[in-house]
Amino acid sequence: MVGELLCLSEITDAQIARFRRRDRELDEADASDVANLRTLRDLLADRQLQVVRFVRAACPARGTLLAGENLDHFLSVLTNLIGLIPGVGTGPVYHVIKRVTLEVAKNRARPELVPGIEAMIPTSPLVALLNSVERPAHADLAVVAGDIEGGGWLKRLGVFVSDSFIYASRDNDLVVNTDSMFEGVPRESGGHYVFDQGADVNAGGQPRRPRRRLDRLS
């Protein structure tokens, strides 16, 4: 998402003016982001960066449902299930991890606490900015996207739980819903993509399959 910002042809005053959150308690965060956007706009104009090619791998270009409203419920269920494992749920480390995890989920919409997660919420102002650009970017775009499917019974169970609680049966790689990976700043050339699907597809690993040809984005 940072790379998408660097590929922008321009950042207009109108885009900056719309960079607002609904919660008025976040006015201070809005003011900080607006100032940073103006600085970025001036730097881009001054440096005249020329991004020729840009590859995005599983980018939440339109946000990810993982950071949405169901995250706290999902993590609550998941941590409680882990706590049922003999020898795990009774340890002090587990209780610390559970507390930290649930606190992050509860505060995910507060940019002053967890800005990286807040930026990936589908309704965040950064997502809105990247998907409302009027002038296409010059940089050629290649999208690497995937969807996790199949695997052993434990992996299938994990996929079922994440699909049911978070992604509403949408394709995903456990962290980003696949359809979001194809969104973002439009390109003059349209761009290309490669899509993989299988048990070895996830947000932290590389598919072991041979490289496929790039198909053109519509």
Instruction: Note whether 99 and 148 are same-domain residues.
Output: no
Instruction: Note whether 171 and 149 are same-domain residues.
Output: yes
Q: How do residues 155-179 score in pLDDT, each as one tens digit?
A: 777 788 778 778 888 999 888 999 9
Instruction: Note whether 139 and 200 are same-domain residues.
Output: yes
What is the value of pTM for the model shown? 0.80
Instruction: Note whether 186 and 99 are same-domain residues.
Output: no
Buried b / exposed e along 15-33 (16+ C-beta atoms within 10 A) = bbeebbbeeeebeebbeeb
Q: How do residues 100-123 score in pLDDT, each as one tens digit?
A: 777 777 778 788 888 888 999 999
Report the number of distinct structural domains present in the chain. Answer: 2
Instruction: Note whether 82 and 155 are same-domain residues.
Output: no
